[in-house]
A and B are shown apart, each in its own frame.
Chain A
């Protein structure tokens, strides 16, 4: 069974631009979560999608948005990029999102110059 796939692996953008990151969950998994990892801050929760609906949302500004498609694939978009958005963005999937472990992708390393 293929794992969680995130593309692209690396991304370099400049301030003010927007970016879209993609995540393909494990086959059969309907819950997809997004996390931001920065040094010293651990993994900060962005949002979770289940059956194309945003079920939970973290404390990030509206510049961060996401969506999920009918095949459970998910995209995350960040508009008007800021230097502080430089981070590793991780996607995780699980069958239902209910008290079960998450399976993570390798992440997309975003650098904002």
Chain B
């Protein structure tokens, strides 16, 4: 069962513009959400997280927004840079249960 969904397999943006990656989840018990970034031939690396008690968390160029009523979160990257080109995974978990991942969105930032 796909409890975490990333419906856009790919996204292409121009350098300097905003990248918005979206994620939907079905399990209302999730209370911790994360974004990971993955380059080819490497493991995913943690980017940013948000607890369900918040609706926004910011870290430099990266901001994650959480809309609990819509069961939706998004990652904003501003400004986008060519080095941001990678696959981005959305993840969610609750308490000590396993972390569930989406299928990923491939972001391409064009110079």
State whether these chains interact. yes
- Give every chain A residue within 8 A of B46 (Cβ-Cβ): 101-103
* CB contact list, A87-113 vs B, under 8 A: 90, 92, 97-99, 101-107
Interface stretch of the complex, out of A11-19, A42-50, A65-73, A74-82: A42-50
Docked CA distance A35–B51 (Å) = 23
Could you say which residues of chain B place their CB within 8 Å of the CB of A105? 43
A/B pair count, beta carbons within 8 Å: 58
In the complex, the answer to whether A104 meets B44 with C-beta atoms within 8 Å is yes
Point out the residues of chain A lying under 8 angstroms from B9, CB to CB: 40
Secondary structure at chain B's binding surface: helix, strand, loop or mixed? loop
Which of the listed residues A41, A42, A45 has the most CB atoms from chain B within 10 Å of its own CB?
A42
Q: Which residues of A contact B102 (CB under 8 A)?
A: 42
Contact A42 B43 (CB under 8 A): no
B32 adjacent to A42 (CB under 8 Å):
no
Residue of A nearest to B101 (CB): A43
A35's nearest neighbour on chain B, judged by CB, is B101
* Nearest chain B CB to A49 CB, angstrom units: 11
A43 to B51, CA, bound (A): 21
A window 28-58: CB within 8 A of B: 33, 35, 40-45, 48, 55-56, 58
- Asked whether, in the complex, the Cβ of A42 is within 8 Å of the Cβ of B99, the reply is no
**B98 touching A45 by the CB < 8 A rule?**
yes
What are 29 A-B pairs with beta-carbon distances under 8 A?
A33-B99, A40-B9, A40-B103, A42-B4, A42-B6, A42-B101, A42-B102, A42-B103, A43-B44, A43-B89, A43-B101, A48-B98, A55-B96, A56-B96, A56-B98, A90-B43, A92-B43, A98-B95, A99-B93, A99-B95, A99-B96, A101-B46, A104-B43, A104-B44, A104-B45, A106-B41, A106-B42, A106-B43, A107-B43
6 additional contacts (CB under 8 A) given A42-B102, A98-B95, A99-B94: A42-B104, A99-B95, A104-B43, A104-B44, A105-B43, A106-B43
Q: Nearest 5 A-B pairs (CB), nearest first? A: A104-B43, A42-B103, A43-B101, A56-B98, A101-B46
